[in-house]
Amino acid sequence: MSEFHPQSIISPRTSIGSNVRIGAYAVVGDEVELGDGCVLDHHAVVHGPARLGKNNRVYPFAVVGGDPQDLTFAGQRVAVEIGDDNIFREFCTVNRGTVKGGGTTRLGSHNLIMSYAHIGHDSQIGSHTIFVNGATLAGHVAVDDYATVGAYSPVQQFCRIGRYAYIGAYTVITQDVLPYAKIVAPRETKCYGVNTIGLERSGFTPVRLDSLEKAFRFLLRSNLNTSQALEKMRETLSGSQDVQYLIEFIESAKNGIIK
């Protein structure tokens, strides 16, 4: 049975599943769909059009589905689509899309959006990602599965972050981030090789890790340019699906890659 606090504000133009809990002073706007088991704590806000799957939790003062922060936005009907089992912590914000960006901001499932993090308009987020406190996506950013964006790290528009990438705190991202990589900026933004600890925690075998280490050695610690490094990977590491994804990512990068 769903529970709605009498001091919550719920538009009649909503669709709410079963076992949903909405706290005091929470606001649910027009054209919002809340899947089964969703929880909106007190003072949480969800604007529509927005569709949230099952078991999402929105903590106090988080705003999901706010207007895009784009000067060309003039009230067009744009949306946000969210999967299952996501956590939106206090004061984080997720903006809807823009017409020029496709109209929809999307998040997959099992993502953790920590306090004060921001997901900009038209961003496309995979699943199992983590946005640490204050992490900021400027808009039109793609983040693949299992990536982590560190505290107070801004990501420039149209950049892509590969799966299993780890971005350290206070790192400014202006180019695409390699999958499986560890990107940190104590002085300048650069790649420090494979995100070994994160991959081990995710169950990568020593064989998979060895292939990635060799691939990154070609990219970062050889006298080869990027094209030559890719050719060397094809010659010697063709049996690794991880390396194949890395090659495809680099070849499709539109903003250059952080090396």
What is residue 241's three-state secondary structure?
Answer: helix
Q: What is the dihedral of CA 197, 159, 127, 179, to 10 degrees?
A: -30
Contact 120, 138 (CB under 8 A): yes
Domains in the chain: ranges and CATH? 3-140 (2.160.10.10), 199-252 (1.20.1180.10)
Q: Which residues are catalytic?
A: 121-122, 139
pLDDT in tens, 44-70: 999 999 999 999 999 999 999 999 999
Q: What pLDDT is recorded for position 1?
A: 81
Strand 9-10 relative to strand 27-28, pairing: parallel
> For the whole model, what pTM was predicted?
0.95
Per-residue pLDDT at 43: 98
Residue 187 confidence (pLDDT): 81
* CA 20 to centroid of chain Cα atoms: 25
Give the pairing of strands 181-184 and 190-194. Answer: antiparallel
> Cα dist. 129→72, 148, 218 in Å?
29, 6, 27
pLDDT tens profile 101-127: 999 999 999 999 999 999 999 999 999
The answer to whether residues 157 and 141 touch, using CB atoms and an 8 Å cutoff, is yes
Q: Which residue has the tokens 């204050």?
A: 134
Q: Are 39 and 19 in contact (CB under 8 A)?
A: no
- In the predicted model, residues of the chain with pLDDT beneath 70 are none
Q: How many CA atoms lie within 13 A of 217 on its CB side?
A: 8
Distance CA 246, CA 168 (A): 20
